[in-house]
A and B are shown apart, each in its own frame.
Chain A
Amino acid sequence: MKLFGFFSRGQSAPAARERLQVLLAHERAATGDVDLVNKLRDEILKAISKHMQVDDEKVSIKMERGAQVSTLAVDIEIPFDAGKKAA
């Protein structure tokens, strides 16, 4: 039973290799403190704060770094009267 499970589980090393390649590609590309995704994140937040008071607690940021494509999701709660306050 255990022997069977051993064979059917498949190798894990290819997964390790792939994960490392993606991770290291991103880490090497990052110059100093800022990589592109981080830069975009900061600038998006800056742009938004020009128009409204950004409550940090109401901002959720998600990233997923991929081999070909990374995704950046910025989720912001905008209060109804946000625009007026800034103006």
Chain B
Amino acid sequence: MGKVIVVTSGKGGVGKTTSSAALGAALAQNGEKVVVVDFDVGLRNLDLVMGAERRVVYDLVNVIQGEAKLTQALIRDKRVETLYLLPASQTRDKDNLTPEGVEKVIAALKSAFDWVICDSPAGIERGATLAMRHADVAIVVTNPEVSSVRDSDRIIGLLDSKTLKAENGERIEKHLLLTRYDANRAERGDMLKVDDVLEILSIPLLGIIPESMDVLRASNVGAPVTLADGRSAPALAYFEATRRLKGEDLPVTIPGEKRSFLGKIFGRKAA
């Protein structure tokens, strides 16, 4: 039985889709069978970020409405054999996403995959609550920035009340993924520090993804960043995050803190 993960944030543009694709690909690159599900009906983008936008035949809503079988809607990644994508519908209304339909789809995916990663839409409406509904684990994507932290706090509240686990009196496992972290700005004191965010949200840290051109470059060419350049800083951070997700006790390195004297000089110059 696979694990269901929701990648959520409340706020838009913080890196949910990028992280869903990167974590999914990273897990699959290690041989795990992974499906990444786009819940953003009407504004899908996971297909684009994963480079499968030209190959979408059916989508999540087609499956829920019984117009297509689940196996027909799944798109297999061309680079990693064990990575699959279930796209959202671009033209249908969000109301087509029914709780019963989502439950069926997630149950089927759980029995066929090791990991089911649900890429949540922004906001706290139907799409977002349905994406988190069946999750075993939540990854809260947050930028070190006030509005993002506030929205994450709101989402954590929803995770603790609106998920199936919460309703059954169980605790849902929650992890913080801090994205777009800029070591130089943090050093200058112009950005919330990791400890600040952790103290405010008080959920364990899954990883810190540094702000990087590599992320933009990866989305430009339609590849999860762990596939586009597996040795880039963000890719390494995502690989580490997946190891923690699998239960490994791996210390988190804060970008910039381990820099040598020379690195500091050059880092400043570059900034």
A→B interface (CB under 8 Å): 9, 12-13, 15-16, 19, 22-23, 27, 30, 32-33, 41, 56-57, 59-66
| Residues of chain B contacted by A59 (CB below 8 angstroms) | 72
CA distance A15 to B219 in the complex (A): 10
CA distance A86 to B221 in the complex (A): 47
**In terms of DSSP, what is the predominant structure of the interface of chain B?**
helix
Contact between B55 and A62, CB atoms less than 8 A apart: yes
Interface residues of B in 188-230 (CB under 8 A from A): 216-222
| Residues of chain B contacted by A33 (CB below 8 angstroms) | 91-92
CA distance A63 to B47 in the complex (A): 14
Contact between B220 and A13, CB atoms less than 8 A apart: yes
Contact between A57 and B220, CB atoms less than 8 A apart: no
| Residues of chain B contacted by A56 (CB below 8 angstroms) | 68-69, 72
B53-67 vs A, CB cutoff 8 Å, 1 = contact: the mask equals 111111000000000
Contact between A64 and B72, CB atoms less than 8 A apart: no
B48 in the interface, Cβ–Cβ < 8 Å? yes
Contact between A65 and B220, CB atoms less than 8 A apart: no
B→A interface (CB under 8 Å): 48, 51, 53-58, 68-69, 71-72, 90-92, 216-222
Contact between B72 and A19, CB atoms less than 8 A apart: no
CA distance A41 to B48 in the complex (A): 22
16 further contact pairs, Cβ within 8 A, besides A12-B216, A63-B56:
A9-B217, A16-B221, A19-B53, A22-B54, A30-B91, A33-B92, A41-B57, A56-B68, A56-B72, A57-B69, A57-B71, A60-B72, A61-B57, A62-B57, A63-B55, A64-B55
CA distance A9 to B77 in the complex (A): 23
| Residues of chain A contacted by B56 (CB below 8 angstroms) | 63
Contact between B90 and A27, CB atoms less than 8 A apart: yes
CA distance A62 to B90 in the complex (A): 18
| Residues of chain A contacted by B69 (CB below 8 angstroms) | 56-57
Which chain B residue lies CB-closest to A41?
Answer: B57
Would you list 13 pairs from A and B whose C-beta atoms are within 8 A, ordered by A residue?
A12-B221, A15-B222, A30-B91, A32-B91, A33-B91, A56-B68, A57-B71, A59-B72, A61-B58, A63-B54, A63-B57, A64-B54, A65-B55
Contact between B72 and A12, CB atoms less than 8 A apart: no
